[in-house]
Chain A
Amino acid sequence: MQVARTLREVHHFRGYIHLKTIPEASDELIAVAGKYADRISINIELPQQKSLKNLAPEKNIFRTREAMHKISDKIFESKAERSSKKSPFATGQSTQMIVGADQSHDAHFLRRAGELYGNFQLRRVYYSAFSPIPDSSIRLPLKSPPLVREHRLYQADWLMRFYGYKVDEITTKNQPNLDLDIDPKLSWALRNRDFFPIDLNKADYGVILRIPGLGVRNAKRIITARRFHHIRVNDLIKMRANLKKCLPFIITADHQPASLELDSEKIRALHAPPAQQLELDFSAPIPKSEVIGGEF
């Protein structure tokens, strides 16, 4: 706290300061932290209480949420009083969850994130792939999860915040984890084929947002541009839309997806990374039958 104070008051530092706190910090301390920081955060670390109990027994989701609630109230108050500049306070809070340290599914992470965004107006939830540290406890996995899992969680997070998806659409009961091979939007589209194809010249904004390969900006451009002319494939090329991805799902003035292209398995294969050789686990004894060479 002294460092933040010195930076602000002695050195007149005007850059971004992000302070982390713990749920049990006193209100007075939080008030001071909020005065100097742009962003305050409490790391929730894991989405479920039972994993916390196992890996971080001093952490408690209930208390973390209480504290987030208090901070979000303070941010709200300070925003309301911004004009009077009476009590400056950080303008946002965020949190972090560690992915791949416990057995939680992606659905657990996304449900927790959705709940925190909704209740405490968090600016961001950060998902950090667990990375093993030297001399770690035996309860922790030795290997980090693939970074792509973290990437998929961020994509799903974006779908919830900017594209109007619900957690239960992104993950399902049978597939509580995100598909690592293809992005969650394409994955949803392939599970909901009857939703498509979408006519870009007629569909609502919210519907266009569901088309794989089109983002928020292009969806808005389409809405504006079609007031003046019909949307054609060439327009999508100019917008740098991902044609390979979106064509099977859309209708334009000059395009209808051919039934041949509509095979979900084919679409999936088109976007999934090429199959890789499985990583061998050298720590496990190799069964004899596999050691002996032979024809492939």
Chain B
Amino acid sequence: MRTLVHPEKFDDWRRVARSLLAAGIPPEDLLWQSREQFGLFSGAPLPPGTGNLPRVPGAFIDLARTVSCHRSGDQWALLYSLLWRLTHGEAHLLALSTDSQIHRVRTMAKHIGRDIHKMHAFVRFRKVNDAPETNREQFVAWFETEHRIVRLTSAFFRKRFTGMNWSILTPDECMHWDGQKIHFTNGVDKSQAPDSDSLDELWKTYYRNIFNPARLKVKAMQSEMPKKYWKNLPEAETIKELIASSSDSTREMLATPSSPEKPAPNNTYLEKLRQLDRNPKTNSPPRA
């Protein structure tokens, strides 16, 4: 039995996996451990990787790259086991959606996908000073991801917020955009991030006004926007108050008797439209 420490990232795992595979070491001879568990033991040096490595489908590399970000650490052993099976007579393994290891790796990929999706949706930037040299607006956001996905979201944020300078700070890693390129720095804690700005109130007013009490579904809302994200969303403060007032405002509305039919508004444009219906032959639309 050989003990290995969890790699930091995909490329590290790939290097290790290549030499293990080249040396013909099967997954059941390996024990992958976190750095803490690993502690006292020192792993045997890796065997020198030699010879041609068998090819694996590109889809596996993509999948492996994605689940590498999983926080559990369980992915490394699983990935090596899949790699082993793919290269030892189960080339079609990825198509076996009913295989329990495939099921596990796909579930992990799903967790990551969901985490990325939530980060796209719930990052809230706060305005700080403009960058002095370039005069570009400067924004900072604080976000806590479930898995280590910051890098996987860089293309999205670069494309979406290309016109401003921004930094997204997280405990794992920080990502910065200056209009030219993305760069990454070490993670920080929340105290480094601004905790409010002048735009917060505007956002809250906006959310209060688009809230439709008649369509309130608390459970659906919470499954889309789980509570764990609330603490970093400025608009979340308004949720309680809106939910509490919703039944009152609906009741009030229903209690108000409906008005008698109003006369059609006397508006020349609407009159033109009505005219169209009266003379269906001249059915070309009027110009506004």
Contacts and interface: CB of A to CB of B under 8 A. Distances in A.
Interface of A: 11-15, 22-26, 29, 57-58, 60, 62-63, 66-67, 129, 131-140, 142-144, 147, 221, 224-225, 227-229, 231, 234-235, 238-239
B231 interface: no
Nearest to A58: B273
B159 A139 contact: no
Interface of A is mostly: loop
A13 B288 contact: no
Nearest to A59: B273
B162 interface: yes
A144 to B, nearest CB: 6
Given A143-B254, A147-B217, A228-B92, A221 B277 contact: no
Nearest to B97: A221
B95 A131 contact: no
Given A14-B160, A57-B274, A135-B259, A24 B97 contact: no
Given A12-B162, A57-B274, A24 B259 contact: no
Interface of B is mostly: loop
B274 A132 contact: no
B274 A58 contact: yes
Nearest to B161: A14
B285 interface: yes
Contacts of A26: 287-288
A225 B259 contact: no
Contacts of B162: 12, 14
Given A60-B273, A133-B253, A138-B261, 4 more contacts: A23-B285, A58-B270, A144-B214, A238-B100
Contacts of A144: 214
B286 interface: yes
Interface string B221-249: 00000000000000000000000000000
CB-based closest 4 A-B pairs: A12-B163, A24-B285, A131-B214, A235-B98
16 contacts: A11-B163, A14-B163, A24-B288, A26-B288, A60-B276, A62-B283, A63-B285, A66-B285, A138-B260, A142-B254, A142-B258, A221-B98, A227-B92, A227-B95, A228-B95, A238-B98
Nearest to B214: A131
B39 to A, nearest CB: 36
A42 B96 CA distance: 44
B262 A63 contact: no
Contacts of A147: 215, 217
A133 B252 CA distance: 11
Task: Identify the interface centre among B96, B161, B217: most chain A CB within 10 Å of its CB.
Answer: B96
B212 interface: yes
Contact of A24 (B159, B273, B277): B273
A11 to B, nearest CB: 6
Interface string B160-196: 1111100000000000000000000000000000000
B35 interface: no
B98 A239 contact: yes
B273 A228 contact: no
B259 A137 contact: yes
B190 to A, nearest CB: 26
B98 A132 contact: no
A14 B159 contact: yes
A238 B214 CA distance: 38
A225 B273 contact: no
